[in-house]
Amino acid sequence: MRKWLALVPHPFTPQDRAAGYRYAVSILQAEFARTQVLDRPLSGRIFFEEVIRENLDLGRPDQVQLIFARRVTKRTPGRFRTRVITQGVTPALYVDYKNTRIKQYHKEGQALRTETTINDTRDFAIGKRLHNLPALRAVGFAANRRLQDVQRLSHDCQIGEDAFRQVTRPQVVQGQRVSALSFADPRVQALLSVLVLFCLLPQGFANKEVRERLALLLGLDPSTMTPGRMTYDLRRLRLHGLIARLPHSHRYRVTHEGLRTALFFTRVYARILRPGL
């Protein structure tokens, strides 16, 4: 900073400086990147092209809020979108949130490169002064990790025949009878779709939040969906091991097996069963 102060004109007069006005370094733009070198370049390219195909919905507001851990409402400014751009023969995946962008691409045919570029720190309620860099760094690298968590789970969601049978049949768990989660039941499909939406929220989710989302997916008025019925559905999910209650709270989190099951059910239904009906 002293180097530039010696070269550029000073808008502060001696009186301003005597009054205590000073320059401070601020953050105009920050980029946080993660590079993962692959052992087999060809496999890496195949994997990345599959990731693009499986995650074209990452720019949707409900997915963006999972990646950035920020709530997105109708009043949230900016565009929410996913773009796939081919530069030469190298495809790149872009996810936009306000003035922030995540770019992911297969770098030089050797590595998976994930970059989060933040152009306005206030998108995350963080100031622009340099001492805020550690907080901004945490946001940037967390976004990279969350994006790859979504991609990793979506890329490998097979559950096996035994797990499928267990979920789709009635069970007795710790002396409690729990009804089956029928694969073709629209309500079950909607419930599992909601689990995918809430899978990475750090504080989990509550009855009301699931109720609102479920009503939208079923085309119902949220006021007609009672908390009691939602409690019954949450109990079914919990006893089947798809969700777990957070200690000392009325909130829940999606288990690892729950997310794999939800991804498998919703994808098979959307890609195989629904087109054939």
Q: Residue 18: left if φ>0, alpha if ψ -120 to 50, beta else—which one? A: alpha
Name the strand (E) or helix (H) holding 36. strand 30-37
Residues 6+ apart with CB under 8 A from 94: 82, 83, 84, 85, 101, 102, 103, 104
Count how many domains the chain has.
Answer: 2
179 with 151, same domain: the answer is no
Domain limits for position 178? 161-276
Residues 6+ apart with CB under 8 A from 68: 97, 100, 124, 139, 143, 146
131 with 213, same domain: the answer is no
Domain endpoint, select from 129, 155, 181: 155
CATH number at residue 142: 3.30.530
37 with 138, same domain: the answer is yes
Instruction: Quote the tokens at residue 258.
Output: 């729950």
Q: Which residue has the tokens 């559950």?
A: 159
State how beta strands 111-118 and 30-37 pair. antiparallel
Q: Is residue 6 part of a domain?
A: no
Q: Is residue 128 part of a domain?
A: yes
Task: Give the C-alpha separation, 37 to 31, whole Å.
Answer: 19
Q: Is residue 11 part of a domain?
A: no
Beta carbons of 194 and 183 less than 8 angstroms apart: no
Q: Which residue has the tokens 């991609």?
A: 151
Name the strand (E) or helix (H) holding 73. none
Q: Is residue 176 part of a domain?
A: yes
166 with 271, same domain: the answer is yes
261 with 187, same domain: the answer is yes
Q: Is residue 10 part of a domain?
A: no
Taking the CA atoms of residue 51, residue 54, residue 56 and residue 62 in that order, the dihedral angle to the nearest 10 degrees is -110
Full pLDDT tens readout for the chain, 277 residues: 677 777 877 778 888 888 988 777 889 999 999 998 877 776 676 777 677 666 554 444 444 444 444 454 555 545 545 455 555 556 777 887 788 888 888 888 788 899 999 999 998 889 999 999 999 999 999 888 877 777 776 665 566 778 888 899 998 888 899 999 999 899 999 999 888 877 656 678 899 989 988 998 899 888 888 999 999 999 999 999 999 999 988 899 988 888 888 888 888 888 777 776 6
Q: Is the pTM of this model over 0.75?
A: no
Domain endpoint, select from 155, 183, 199: 155
* 3-state class (DSSP) for residue 135: helix
* 3-state class (DSSP) for residue 86: strand
Beta carbons of 183 and 267 less than 8 angstroms apart: no
33 with 127, same domain: the answer is yes
